[in-house]
Chain A
């Protein structure tokens, strides 16, 4: 029937059909079609996209629901908690959505990162600090300088304490000259070793050139900067030397290095200051001295005394100047070196006095060292020079002697007319002249070298003398130097003597030659006078007999004359020979004397040297012995002191003990007396108090009991006052009951009373009357509604009828029990009972109300059973509490003071 076709009605009855009319029209209801439409629509909906639409709608709804819940959870944490509690996985979801993304677990990386940052910062700080200390092997000059400065300070500090005590020498040298870890120090170790060994007087195995060339084999990399450094220092030293010796011409032909030094000096004028002030004092002194010593002597002075004087002056002045300079540099170096470590180590704190003193001591030491260095360096160098010059001089002398001898030989040879030999006369005389020239040259050379050597000798002697005077004690080296000096002088003198002897021989030979020449000339003259046209050697043609006879006669006459002359000469010669012998003897004597004196001197010198040596040795020995003795004495003294102190300590301690004991005993006695007094008094007081205490205790117990009972009563009456609703005003009584139990103690009466408190009251608690009253209203309502139902239950219809009855029966207020009138139990029905009970409750009579409620029957009774139970409990508890309170009051009243 609902599939009927649509029919247009004849009359327009509803809206939608035809034209709207003025009549109030209802919209058309097409029941039949509605269902069809509905079902068609449903079918349509289900077929054409309806599923999708449904799904979409459902999703939207679910999403909206969830979103709403989430938003609400965000606002209300209680709601969130509820959700999390009830819906599984809600906590995670809410946490994810509301807590801004998932929380990363704390891996402890934050701490690590912070620690790393700290360490980086600390590392950076340390780098800065140590940057100035650590030796950085970089090529930059600043780093080099800093390094060397530090090295200078270190080695100066090392050398100074090493030199402070006179330990055996090898230790010091090894200490100082040992190559350290730093590479640049190795470069500097060489000059340092040289200078220091100069200080110590030990000659170097290989006497180095004054310009300390860095050992090339070791460090090629850092040679250039180091070499430059050396050059700078020596340039500076040389410049200074120039300034010192301005009156002397600066030798240009000194060395290439010196020129290079000057160049380098001019090139880097700025850097002079820095390295100078910081270089090692010994090194500068040694270098300066060496540089100065290498200047060859001025060629002017040739004569000995002048040379001697000059030699003395020059080294003296030079030495003084050098010493001054060395001192200055040493002072500057010390100051710089000392300042440096102090400045770098403690910039804020000023120099403390012990270190000032130490600095001063160091200065002095370094001064001394500089002195020694200067002196010994000078001496050494002079000695070397002297040796050289002396050997060369000796050589030259020997050569000169040889040349002279040769010359005389040649002359003799030439003079000898018999032995013409292979050479003709002309060649012979030429040979003679050659020899003469050679001799002249050799002599010149010899003289020059001898003069030089002599000058050097004087110089060295002067220097040694000065050194000996300046230094406190004669050094081993100085003594050995003196020895050498003496030896060299001796050799020189002997060579010179040889030369002079040769020269004397030559002179004799020359005289002989002259005489021979003279004789020959004379003869020639006489011959010429007699026979003027006859030339010697020019025998041309034949001579006449007269000429021959006259020549022979002349010759005979001449021969006679000559013979007589010869006899004369022989006599003269004899006498002259005697004279000559005598002279020679005297000369010999003189010479022997001279030789003797020389020998004596030499011996004396040697002896003096030996003596000095022995003295030095003896001194050392004595000093060592003295030191040991002193040490022994110090040890003995300290031991003695210790013993004495120990004995004293014992004495004092024993005395102290005795005194302490006495004082203690006194104190104890006094204390004992006081104590006895106090004890006696105390005992009296105690007795009094105890007598009192019992009374008080009893009183207090009674009070406690009373209070506890009152508390219990009140609690039963009021319940939990902080409760929100009447339902929660139950409070367990166990605590208060226990308190009462404790307060009651052993009294049986109280125990019994306490036992009467129902167990449930103790555990669960009781409702106060107010709660029961409030509860009663509800109970009453329910009871009224089920008044018609009995224990066996009822049908729904009965329930409905009973409900209707309760609605219809008006509650006309609380009926009060007529006073004195008896109540007929049969006449009581639910409503009456309820109203009676309510009335009694209103009047505060819970007991009566309970009695009334107990009369209920059927379903109302079941409904009210709980209430009744509670009421009963309350009543019981209240009764017990009241009894307790009364008893406690009775007890307490008696004990109330």
Chain B
């Protein structure tokens, strides 16, 4: 948050966020799918694929939502810094 985001870079940032989010979700889905596959579905491949797909879908949906409503703000948590700490 040091420098301001330029308007021309805003979109780029949005895309980055989107992509990262999607990847994370996909990974999560993959993991869940693996777990399910291993423990519940006797190592069948379809939970993995399913989970991945779920993740992808979620990410896509988030992206879409973000792009559709560009005026919605994204907040971040700011750690409370005591005086004297770095």
A interface with B by C-beta (< 8 Å): 35, 39, 775, 778-779, 782-783, 785-786, 792-796, 799, 859, 862-867
Contact = CB atoms under 8 A, between A and B. Distances in A.
Given A39-B43, A793-B69, A866 B60 contact: no
B60 A862 contact: no
A796 B10 CA distance: 16
B80 interface: no
Contacts of B60: 796
Q: Closest 10 interchain pairs by CB?
A: A866-B7, A793-B70, A793-B68, A782-B8, A779-B8, A865-B7, A866-B6, A796-B64, A863-B8, A39-B43
A866 B8 contact: yes
Interface in B59-84: 60, 63-64, 67-71
Nearest to B70: A793
Interface of B: 6-8, 10-12, 43, 45, 60, 63-64, 67-71
A385 to B, nearest CB: 107
Nearest to A782: B8
Contacts of B11: 782, 785-786, 859, 863
Contact of A796 (B12, B67, B71): B67
A799 B68 CA distance: 10
B8 A864 contact: yes
Nearest to A795: B64
Contact of A864 (B7, B12, B68, B70): B7
A81 to B, nearest CB: 13
B39 to A, nearest CB: 13
Contacts of B64: 795-796
Contact of A799 (B6, B8, B67, B71): B67
A765 to B, nearest CB: 14
A105 to B, nearest CB: 24
Nearest to A789: B67
B23 to A, nearest CB: 16
Nearest to B14: A799
A867 B8 contact: yes
Contacts of B6: 866-867
24 contacts: A35-B45, A778-B8, A779-B8, A782-B12, A783-B8, A785-B11, A786-B11, A792-B68, A794-B67, A794-B68, A795-B64, A795-B68, A796-B60, A796-B67, A859-B11, A862-B70, A863-B7, A863-B8, A863-B11, A864-B7, A865-B7, A866-B6, A867-B6, A867-B7
A867 B63 CA distance: 26
A862 B43 contact: no
Contacts of A779: 8
Given A35-B45, A796-B63, 13 more contacts: A782-B8, A783-B8, A786-B11, A792-B68, A793-B69, A793-B70, A793-B71, A795-B64, A795-B67, A859-B11, A863-B7, A867-B6, A867-B8
A203 B45 CA distance: 138
A782 B9 CA distance: 8
Contacts of A793: 67-71
Contacts of A782: 8, 11-12
Nearest to A39: B43
Nearest to B10: A863
B67 A862 contact: no
Contacts of A786: 11
Nearest to A786: B11
A565 to B, nearest CB: 163
Nearest to B7: A866
B79 to A, nearest CB: 14
A865 B6 CA distance: 9
B7 to A, nearest CB: 4
A779 B60 CA distance: 26
Contacts of A796: 60, 63-64, 67
Interface centre among A778, A792, A796 (most CB of B within 10 A): A796
